[in-house]
Amino acid sequence: MIQVAETVASRNHFVNQLLTQAVRRDIIMLLVAGGLLAVVLNLTLQPLVRLRDDVRGRSPIDLHPIESAAVPVDVRPLVEAINIHMARTRHAVEARSRFIDDASHQLRTPLATLRTQLDYALRENDPDNIRIALDAISRQLDDATRRTNQMLSLARADAAEVVLDAVDLQSLAQQVAREVLHSAREKRIDLEFDGPEDPLPALGHAGLLCEAALNLLHNAIRFAPEGGRVVIGLQALPDAVLLSVTDNGPGIPPDQLPRMGERFFRARNTLLDGSGLGLAIARSVATQCGGKLTIANMASGTGCVATLHLLHADADRQVIDRMVSLSS
């Protein structure tokens, strides 16, 4: 029989040694793992840090898209969403600065004219000449008021968060026709309606479409000759609803047709005062509603026709989204 004995102290020492070794190994493992983790995380987050520095370092007015190719795949959708948001903001900022340019151009000329007219009237002694100047001031003020209103409606049409809805063009055409009846009568213009008797629903925004149609009608009445003819037409095509305004005025020089509808652009054969904003408003409204504005001379040789092309009220959701995104 063999008996092996060990002192308690020696056993305790052995156990302690074992424990110490295990703890030391675990700590080293933990440190190495932690270090590796830090290195990997650092490498992974490096593009995000660069992204942060890039965005922080931008000038406040810099709204260019963030470069999304360099960021990790997981974060890319977020960067793309931010880019879409920035593009929208840029659009709004551009529209606003364009409005300020337009407004200064549109308001300073009538104001300078009013100042000149008023100075003339104040220095003049002949009552007849004073009367002439006062009449001119009154007309100039009407003109400035109309321009201001047009500009504000253009700004509204540009900036409006438009909710598209079914709008009955038949009743809209009647409504705008009633509004211009008086000015048409003053020029002995024959105002005709050419379209169906039944409601004709199109996709759009009632207030904005009304504004667009009114501007087209005002233009037509201005350019039609005394005793002339203006026609409001409605037509339903398979893929569009058309609202057209035709006049028998002088038409537009063919080389200038493509520029019609640009802000402040006025055809060279016009002698009438105008802001050159009427068609721009109609065009902005048309694109906001997912449609377009076209302008053409009549085949007969006299007059022109401005047409709002709109979508059917029951147009496919995908078609609407595509048209609206195309236009913006």
Which residues of the chain form contacts with other proteins (CB under 8 A)?
104-105, 108-109, 111-113, 115-117, 119-120, 123-124, 136, 140, 273
d(CA 197, CA 236): 12
At its nearest, how many Å lie between other proteins and the CB of residue 274?
11
d(CA 328, CA 223): 31
At its nearest, how many Å lie between other proteins and the CB of residue 108?
4
**Closer Cβ to other proteins, 110 or 201, answer by number:** 110
At its nearest, how many Å lie between other proteins and the CB of residue 151?
15
At its nearest, how many Å lie between other proteins and the CB of residue 191?
29
**Closer Cβ to other proteins, 193 or 264, answer by number:** 264
Q: What is the DSSP string of 57-110?
A: TS-TT--PPP--TTS-TTTHHHHHHHHHHHHHHHHHHHHHHHHHHHHHHHHHHH
**CB proximity list for 4: less than 8 A, separation 6 or greater:** none
Distance (Å) of CA 28 to CA 25, 32, 34, 41, 231:
5, 6, 10, 20, 90
At its nearest, how many Å lie between other proteins and the CB of residue 123?
6
At its nearest, how many Å lie between other proteins and the CB of residue 203?
39
**Closer Cβ to other proteins, 99 or 120, answer by number:** 120
Distance (Å) of CA 100 to CA 69, 104, 105, 152:
36, 6, 9, 11
**Closer Cβ to other proteins, 140 or 288, answer by number:** 140
- Nearest CA-CA partner of 189 in 229, 162, 242: 229
**Closer Cβ to other proteins, 251 or 274, answer by number:** 274
- Asked if 51 and 68 touch (Cβ cutoff 8 Å), the reply is no
**Closer Cβ to other proteins, 64 or 139, answer by number:** 139
